[in-house]
Amino acid sequence: MTVYTIGYATKPIATFTEQLRHYKVSAVCDVRSVPFSKRFFDYHQDAIKKHLSNAQIRYVYLGNELGPRSKNPDHYDECNQVQFETLMQSEHFLKGLYRLKNGLEQGFTLALMCAEKDPATCHRSLLIGYAVARLWKEELMHITHEGELESQTHLERRLKQLHGLDDDLFASEQDLLLQAYRKQLKATSYIKPTTTDPKQLK
């Protein structure tokens, strides 16, 4: 059971759809909390639906269930930063995973779509991939910007290198991976704006 992920930032739409075809993806699950792009207009929700339909790929929106910007205030810390370790235990998130599994059982080859070029900075790995690896004992395969594949396992090890966490005589591999994961969440997870100034909300 393979679930792919793909980011679109700076990627021409023709390249995007060709990469999906290469891996025989039959349905794209949009996991953006806000399914629009200020810079890449081909990826506005209405536009991407048309592009995917032309490529004979189905589109489904799962941003309400699997998006990174939770609407539940209990999923944020005192600094208004979302806490994925809490969010991934919520009924809403688990419902989203159930919908994914249901799609797989119906025979679809799924790809989760979000914006970020590198999955290591995106909730498709840090939230969904992390949860799938631990709840389903499966791992996502991330389609890189160049169209290659990176496994969730490899990505998590890359986080350790990214944060300079070398092997430690007194820490296990899993402890180091967890440290790296939490550092990456601190550096990249969504923070709710606290201002009502429209200029800062853009």
Residue 198 is assigned to a structural domain of this protein: no
Residue 168 is assigned to a structural domain of this protein: no
Distance CA 79, CA 191 (A): 8
Please tell me the total number of residues recorded for the chain in this structure. 202
Question: Which position has the token pair 């399914």?
Answer: 35
Q: Residue 198: pLDDT above 80?
A: no
11 lies in which domain range? 3-151
Q: Residue 195 — very low, low, confident or very high, per pLDDT cuts 50/70/90?
A: low
Q: Residue 34 belongs to a domain with what CATH number?
A: 3.90.190
Tally of structural domains, the chain: 1
Q: Residue 78: pLDDT above 70?
A: yes
Sheet holding 3-7: strands in order across? Answer: 58-61, 27-30, 110-114, 3-7, 141-143, 149-151
With H, G, I as helix, E, B as strand and everything else as coil, classify residue 131.
Answer: helix
Q: Residue 8: pLDDT above 50?
A: yes
Residue 166 is assigned to a structural domain of this protein: no
